[in-house]
Amino acid sequence: MLQRTFGLDCRVAIAPRNDAKATTLVNQEDYRMRKILLFLFVLLMGVQLFAADVVPRNVNSIRPDTLGFYQAENVITLYEKPWDNAKIIRSFHWDKTGIYPEGIRPGEFFAVYIPGKNLAFLTVADEMEGWVEVVFNNRTGERGWLKKDDPYRFLNWFNFVNMYGKKYGMNILSGAGEQANVLYSAPEDGSQIVGRINHPQKINLTVLRGNWALVSVYDMDKTPKTGYIRWRSDNGVKYLFPSVK
């Protein structure tokens, strides 16, 4: 009788320990799951932020019949005509978190869009005093007039490539063809060929001369090559573009 009572008492005493152990295991599992979910969330957000960046990748990304870029202010109002009382055709704002109203695709609106640096450029099709006509749909070519809030925000192609190419280096755009792989001794087609670009690791811009760029190239074999290369064609097709990032 005493043994049975002793045994029963033991079982009653042990039960709470098993419950506590089970609770601890559940808490640990819940903690691990929370860490995994947090990691996946951060990873997903990082991928989304990276995917949001827009820069020209191929020769068709930039319309050849344009003048240059306008660095976009955060609040943008586009007009049908270049005067203050003209009809407003588009209005929105953007910042590091996105474009509002939502639903606007950065790649269709901006030529360059790097929200992490609060940097965006619109393609300029025309210019007049105090105004620029910009392409606000890169797919359809639709245009609108934007009032300049700062005259230094507009850069023609030569000035843009010269400034940002020297700062970041250059990339060869996809579809540029053979003319973007040949280095010449002088900025003209009939000059001597001094080298070819195969798998460039880095292209440093030294100077622009018209449609030509004097560059120093570090190829896959790590052998430096220097010469002139066409950065755009005579009719405005861009072969090289600054490695803006």
The beta strands (E) that lie in the chain are given as: 68-71, 75-79, 88-95, 98-100, 112-114, 119-128, 131-135, 143-147, 154-156, 170-172, 182-184, 193-196, 202-209, 212-218, 224-230, 240-242
Query: Rounded CA gap, 85 and 4, in Å?
Result: 98
pLDDT confidence tier of residue 3, bands split at 50, 70 and 90: very low
Q: Exposure pattern of 24-47 as b/e (b: 16+ CB <10 Å)?
A: eeeeeeeeeeeeeeeeeeeeeeee
Return the CATH number of 158-242, one of 2.30.30, 3.30.460, 3.30.1540, 1.10.530: 2.30.30
In this prediction the pTM is: 0.76
Backbone phi and psi for residue 217, each to the nearest 5 degrees, phi listed first? -115, 135
Burial of 222 (0-12, 13-18, 19+ CB in 10 A): exposed
Averaging pLDDT over each range in 27-41, 45-59, 186-200, which range is the top one?
A: 186-200
Stated as kind and residue range, the H or E segment containing 5 is helix 2-52
Q: Say if CB 132 and CB 146 are below 8 A apart.
A: yes
Query: Rounded CA gap, 96 and 114, in Å?
Result: 8
Structure tokens of 93?
A: 């704002």
The residue ranking higher by pLDDT, 49 or 219, is 219
Of residues 103, 239, 72, the one with CA closest to residue 172: 239
Structure tokens of 228?
A: 């002139």
Q: How many CB atoms lie within 10 A of CB 21?
A: 10
Count of residues in the chain: 245
Q: Report the mean per-residue pLDDT for the chain.
A: 84
Give mean pLDDT, residues 92-102. Answer: 87
Give mean pLDDT, residues 22-35. Answer: 59
- List the domain boundaries for the chain: 1-52, 59-149, 158-242
Note the pLDDT of residue 179: 86
Say whether pLDDT at 40 is over 80. no
Furthest CA-CA distance within the chain: 113
Burial of 193 (0-12, 13-18, 19+ CB in 10 A): exposed
Q: Are strands 193-196 and 182-184 parallel, antiparallel or unpaired?
A: antiparallel
Stated as kind and residue range, the H or E segment containing 24 is helix 2-52
The fraction of the chain above a pLDDT of 90, given in percent, is 63
